[in-house]
Structure 1
Amino acid sequence: MDKTITCIIVDDEPLARKVLTKYASQMDNLEVVAVCSNAVEAFCHLQKGNIDLVFLDIKMPKINGLELLESLNPVPLVVFTTAYREFAVKAFELDAIDYLLKPISLGRFMKTIAKVNKFLTGNHVVGMVEGQLQPKDPISKLNPEPELLYIKSQRKTVKLDLSEILYLESLNDKVTIHTSDGEIQTAQRIGSLEEKLPKTKFLRIHRSFIVALDKITAFNTIMTEVNGKELPIGRNYRSHVMTILQDNPL
């Protein structure tokens, strides 16, 4: 059985609080220690510590969920619960472990708890004290490697699975993301996108190119080959790139 996870629910809508509390009660390893109607109330509970997970609404009066999260140190795992899609990019920039859109189904809630269980029972957990999960570093719990990348493209936010990305190419103030299914263009800067990509999976090889390490099929000191295309290695990047590639054999 998975270890007990202590959580709080923060939402200004009574119905939303009721639904989340009901769902949580059906999870064997989830213990709701507080249900809060606003961010200030939640902040007081979080200052007491011993909270592993927060279900956090975004649009709330006075202090919204994003502002609350930015004020916390250390921080627990956070699952945002909201009716608004437009906050997804910001939520994942803050390293939320999941983003649930209302109305939330029990099946989707269970999927989130499975993700939380998988994360908390990984290398970040070192033992149990009085029945509570003890992380090595509370802040590090909010920094799992992302599985998705959210891209602003043509007035929409596009969700990309990182495993589908071949490489990113910057040209004329646009970045083209080459994937196994085609291309996506965005006005986001390549440097900004680089910050969102896990360094264990992606490598900046040139001022205009970032490649997926597992998609590289060949390389030498001046180029890498991805999907049959030769991509140049910039002179200023060469030393670092060769170190990484030589440590990660094909």
Structure 2
Amino acid sequence: MGKQTKIKCIIVDDEPLARDVLEQYAQEMDQLEVVASCGNALEAFKHIQEGGIDLVFLDIKMPKLNGLELLQSLKNPPLVVFTTAYREYAIQAFELDAIDYLLKPISLTRFLKTVAKAHRFLCGQTHPAFEPLADPPTEEEPQDKATIYIKSDRKVVKLDLTQIYYLESLNDKVLVHVQGREVSTNQRISYLEEKLPKPRFVRIHRSFIVALDKVNAYNNIMVEVDGRELPIGRNYRSHALELLRAH
């Protein structure tokens, strides 16, 4: 990087709100220049192949091609910071020489520390192989801090995962049944399934996903959640029952 002061970066995340947060953070920093904000890994791949990218803020769980697969596909990747709600990929991130691993929701303070680290690398003051991930996620961190963002009524709503009982697909919408209320979204249930942490949630039917810790009772054909009996579909039965028994 030499005397160059601007770090040219791209943001890669299929959630618009997550991209907006990082873009706003980047605008607070003179040394960052956001070259592109990408909604999927394939779009990001094209920008990286064109060259000139110093740093990538990369989500992991994305449809078609995930963040880990994108990084593995690059012969000469730029510096990569993984941004994710899932701490279980930290080891893989380290093995792929990511310089940092940010758990969502990402604070501005934590973001600033990551950019400072990237600046050191690009100025030749250190190398990713010789500096550990800053504040790596640990198993001791409470799991109940996790959240999910969904689109509802022209807004983006943050939901606490510990308050979700089940998701129900109804025609062209999905109802997320949370503690004391329902939140409606036009996002597909299969899309939301990819965003929910496993094995905390399990798909039991083409129309239902349940939180395992909210299941009060079950048998081979149904589960009881929040006073309601939900059917277990034939195609989901084996996997669902295996997780129910383990839980």
Question: Match of 1:243?
Answer: 242
Change (3 A) 1:234 1:10: same
Question: Match of 2:195?
Answer: 196
Q: CA deviation at 1:206?
A: 0.6
Mapped contact 1:9–1:17 kept (Cα < 8 A): no
Change (3 A) 1:228 1:156: same
Residue identity in the other structure for 2:153: Q
Residue 174 of structure 2 aligns to a residue whose secondary structure is strand
Change (3 A) 1:182 1:235: same
Residue 190 of structure 2 aligns to a residue whose secondary structure is helix
Question: Match of 1:224?
Answer: 223
Write the distance in 1 (CA, Å) between the matches of 2:57 and 2:206.
39
Write the distance in 2 (CA, Å) between the matches of 1:181 and 1:212.
15
Q: Deviations over 1:17-69 (max 9, x none)?
A: 79547xxxxxxxxxxxxx3435389x6574xxxx8x859xxxxxxxxxxxxxx
1:29-68 to structure 2, matched below 5 A, reads 35-37=31-33, 39=35, 44=52, 46=54
Q: CA deviation at 1:200?
A: 1.6
Question: Match of 1:166?
Answer: 165
Write the distance in 2 (CA, Å) between the matches of 1:232 and 1:218.
12
Q: CA deviation at 1:134?
A: 6.8
Q: CA deviation at 1:114?
A: 9.2
Mapped contact 2:169–2:208 kept (Cα < 8 A): yes
Residue identity in the other structure for 1:236: N
Residue identity in the other structure for 2:202: L
Residue identity in the other structure for 1:221: N
Q: CA deviation at 1:129?
A: 8.1
Q: CA deviation at 1:96?
A: 7.0
Mapped contact 1:98–1:112 kept (Cα < 8 A): no
Write the distance in 2 (CA, Å) between the matches of 1:242 and 1:17.
45
Q: Deviations over 1:50-104 (max 9, x none)?
A: x8x859xxxxxxxxxxxxxx97546622569xxxxxxxxxxxxxx974477xxxx
Q: Pick from 73, 77, 81: which aligns with 1:77?
A: 81
- Structure 2 residue runs of 5 or longer lacking an equivalent are 1-5, 11-24, 36-46, 59-68, 85-100, 115-126, 135-144
Q: How many residues align?
A: 165
Write the distance in 1 (CA, Å) between the matches of 2:52 and 2:9.
15
Query: TM-score, with normalisation over the residues of structure 1?
Result: 0.51
Q: CA deviation at 1:181?
A: 3.1
Q: CA deviation at 1:222?
A: 1.0
Question: Match of 1:110?
Answer: 109
- Identity, % of aligned positions: 43
Question: Match of 1:150?
Answer: 149
Write the distance in 2 (CA, Å) between the matches of 1:245 and 1:38.
45
Question: Match of 1:209?
Answer: 208
